[in-house]
Chain A
Amino acid sequence: MAEYRFFADGFEERVSDYLSNKPEADVELEFAVPEKDFNTAGKGSSELKNLLKRLGVDSEILRRIAVASYEAEINVAAHSQGGVMKSAVHDELIHVSFIDSGPGIGDIEQAMVPGFSTADDLVRELGFGAGLGLPNIKKNSDAMRIVSQEGGSTTLEFLIFF
């Protein structure tokens, strides 16, 4: 099993406070992300964006959440056998998790390198597969974690504070 962790500058303590308190979410959303279905992928991010907009989340923060979650949904559709997107909205942050049913990421460090991609022709024809999905998620998150079992499931989660 491999793990990758990232904290934006100054966020490590706030993230560990959140993780140790495990507060109950104010709102939880869950969406299926089917394999290779690029019209369904994005529905979860779109609903989440609409919800957070109604809740009055700042537009720049909203943009970061929308980009990170859409990239992650596209990744699940493009690279896995399908999975789910789970969002937990708290007072001061959002926690979004993507859990797929495999086949796992062989080398996470390599997958994080901008420009590296294992996308197939279908994905590339749509204009995805530039190898920028994971770097974009990292760039827009305050914290990010990937846990992957080669041949098994991958979980990617990120936190963004409001």
Chain B
Amino acid sequence: MMKLANYMAAIDGTNHTPAIDPEEIEILGAYVSDMLSDVMGSAKPDQVWITIMKHLNVIAVASMTGVPAIILAKGNVPDAAVCDKALEESICIISSKLSTFELSGILYSMLKA
């Protein structure tokens, strides 16, 4: 288990849902996909979801799947309506300039360390 806050610092991430504290979220891994049904079929509640998708349905998918946080790659920033919906569903959204590959690699090495 690792605190989401530690990962956020390592990827120089920005929290778009500041009312949700990444110190409070513990993660065991990630699921990496841009296909929403793939995420619903395979992501687990103790994983972050790394993606470039940032529309409203992404929040619904995270909520139904029980994923606590979404990491947006390549500097993708969500609209205010998406952030509001995420807050309503208690899902943390963090964006980072890094690519999906780099985001996954960093998390993998931190969890293996």
Partners in one complex: yes
Structural contact, A136 and B61, CB atoms closer than 8 A: no
| A46 vs chain B, min Cβ distance (A) | 7
Residues of B within 8 A of A127 (CB): 34-36, 53, 57-58
Which residue from A59, A66, A128 sits with its C-beta under 8 Å from B64? A66
Given A49-B64, A63-B45, A132-B35, answer yes or no on A71-B40 (Cβ-Cβ < 8 Å): yes
Residues of B within 8 A of A49 (CB): 63-64
- Which of A9-17, A37-45, A79-87 forms contacts with chain B? A37-45
Is B79 located at the chain interface by the 8 A CB criterion? no
Structural contact, B60 and A70, CB atoms closer than 8 A: yes
Structural contact, B64 and A132, CB atoms closer than 8 A: no
Given A126-B55, A127-B34, answer yes or no on A70-B41 (Cβ-Cβ < 8 Å): no
| B43 vs chain A, min Cβ distance (A) | 10
Structural contact, A126 and B57, CB atoms closer than 8 A: yes
Structural contact, B37 and A128, CB atoms closer than 8 A: yes
Is A5 located at the chain interface by the 8 A CB criterion? no
List the count of A-B residue pairs having beta carbons below 8 Å apart.
64
With an 8 Å Cβ cutoff, the count of chain A residues facing the other chain is 23
CB-nearest residue of chain B relative to A125?
A: B55
Which parts of A113-144 form the interface with B (CB within 8 Å)?
126-128, 130-133, 135-136, 139
CB-nearest residue of chain B relative to A127?
A: B36
Q: Can you list 24 residue pairs at the A/B interface with Cβ under 8 Å? A: A38-B57, A39-B56, A39-B57, A42-B57, A42-B60, A45-B60, A45-B64, A46-B63, A63-B66, A67-B41, A70-B60, A70-B61, A71-B37, A126-B57, A127-B35, A127-B58, A128-B36, A130-B37, A132-B35, A132-B38, A132-B40, A135-B41, A136-B40, A136-B41
Binding site for A on B (CB under 8 A): 34-38, 40-41, 45, 53, 55-58, 60-61, 63-66
Binding site for B on A (CB under 8 A): 38-39, 42, 45-46, 49, 59, 63, 66-67, 70-71, 74, 126-128, 130-133, 135-136, 139
- In addition to A66-B66, A127-B35, A130-B36, 18 A-B residue pairs with Cβ atoms within 8 Å of each other are A39-B57, A42-B60, A45-B64, A46-B60, A49-B63, A63-B45, A63-B64, A63-B66, A67-B41, A70-B61, A126-B36, A127-B34, A128-B57, A130-B37, A130-B38, A132-B35, A136-B41, A139-B41
